Structure 1
Amino acid sequence: MRLFSMPSSGNSYKVRLLMSLLGRQCDTVDVEYETEALDRAKAEGRLPFGKAPVLELDDGRLLPESNAILFWLAEGTSFLPENAFRRAEVMSWMFWEQNQHEGVIAVRGALLFYPQRRHLATPERLAELLERGHQLLQVMEDRLATQDWLVGDAPSIADICLYGYTHTAEERSGFDMARFPAINRWLARIAALPGYVGLGE
């Protein structure tokens, strides 16, 4: 397999993290934002939706979208519950991550992190994202205040999915994570899992 991965992206990172936790190996092709490698991958048709990550299977099939890749990799492992309702709960958190969380937490980080986007980082936009992001993080805080993992009693791809951008929410996106002790304990639990790798690894 080959993973077309944007090294600085939380979406690409969560795929690399799950693969490491599962002990699975694949070649990685770095396609960082605004690079020749990204342009080449697009020109070769390796990125069906025009962005990373994309997992190229051994038979040449291409699977785009980070959460779809997580679901495929987790099939038959402890990271995807067998119980139908639990699986649906996992998917609900993953849909929420892409529909709500990623569009605020990751976007604020992108405005501050990527020089090409800083012209969009107006004080009004940053303030709006900060307020909304704290509201979204409180949703996670409320859930994790009563249980160790987002779904059930073991880590799942729901946790890996939300970890991708939450673990850099303070240093990259400027959110006040001291307000969320349950999230911080959850972040530490994930970082302690066997096979864990960080964003830059």
Structure 2
Amino acid sequence: MLTAFGDSRSGNCLKVKWMLDITRRDYQWIETDVTTGSSRTPEFLAKNPAGQVPLLILDDGRPLAQSNAIILWIGEGGRFVPTDAYDRARMMEWLFWEQYSHEPYVAVVRFQRTLGGKSEHEIEPRLMERGHAALARMEMVLSGADWLVGTAPTLADLALVAYTRVAHEGGFAMNRYPAIQAWILRVEAAFAIG
């Protein structure tokens, strides 16, 4: 059986849980509260020296970290991973972009507001600017397409919906992004998440 360590408040962790559920994998979920140091214990660090969740322990005991690597491993050969080499590379492009240009702003601001208790005025303006820039890029793409890659949902959509659907919790005015709002509903329906 697979074992997944994750904090259910984290979009990075939720996308792993969603993929495990979608693919009907047999797994054990171990709730790991990052705010209490649960991912920094010697026992956890022995599994993942980076001290981060999510973490998936495979049936044979091998660990796999980083949310997008995990969902790719779970989804390999399935309907959410394109078989066309170009579309697959485009999906990967979005997965890398999500972790580099979206999550460090949208997710960080949400974390600071919801778990850190910071007010709107305590948030670094640059984080909001970069978050809005990421959302604007998505809005531009989704204004002319139903999905981020090709004509069907991919792991790129799942990865990016995790924090985009709760961006308002960080103070991002999502009414500025109608194409994203419609896309969120499509992704939630396609992946049966809500």
Q: Of 134, 142, 145, which residue of structure 2 is paired with 1:144?
A: 142
Q: Does the 8 Å contact 1:90/1:151 carry over to 2?
A: yes
CA distance in structure 2 between the partners assigned to 1:160 and 1:75 by the alignment: 14
CA distance in structure 1 between the partners assigned to 2:14 and 2:30 by the alignment: 13
1:176 aligns with 2:173: yes
> 1:133 Cα deviation (Å)?
1.3
Q: Which amino acid aligns with 1:138?
A: A
Alignment RMSD (CA, Å)? 1.9
TM-aligned CA distance change 1:122 to 1:175, over 3 Å: closer
Q: Which moved more, 1:153-162 or 1:39-48?
A: 39-48
Q: Deviations over 1:3-27 (max 9, x none)?
A: 0111111110111112222222310
CA distance in structure 1 between the partners assigned to 2:27 and 2:146 by the alignment: 30
Matched length: 193
Q: Does the 8 Å contact 2:113/2:120 carry over to 1?
A: no
2:34 alignment partner in structure 1: 33
What is the TM-score with the length of structure 1 in the denominator? 0.88
2:24 alignment partner in structure 1: 23
1:92 aligns with 2:93: yes
Map 1:1-201; keep pairs closer than 5 Å.
Answer: 1-35=2-36, 37-40=38-41, 42-43=43-44, 45-115=46-116, 118=118, 123=121, 125-170=123-168, 172-193=169-190, 196-198=192-194
What is the TM-score with the length of structure 2 in the denominator? 0.91
Q: Deviations over 1:44-72 (max 9, x none)?
A: 61223211001100000000000100111
TM-aligned CA distance change 1:138 to 1:23, over 3 Å: same
3-state SS, counterpart of residue 190 of structure 2: coil
Q: Which amino acid aligns with 1:188?
A: L
TM-aligned CA distance change 1:122 to 1:166, over 3 Å: closer
List runs of 5+ in structure 1 lacking aligned partners. Answer: none
> 1:164 Cα deviation (Å)?
1.0
CA distance in structure 2 between the partners assigned to 1:49 and 1:163 by the alignment: 25
> 1:140 Cα deviation (Å)?
0.3
Percent identity between the two aligned chains: 38
CA distance in structure 1 between the partners assigned to 2:129 and 2:35 by the alignment: 30
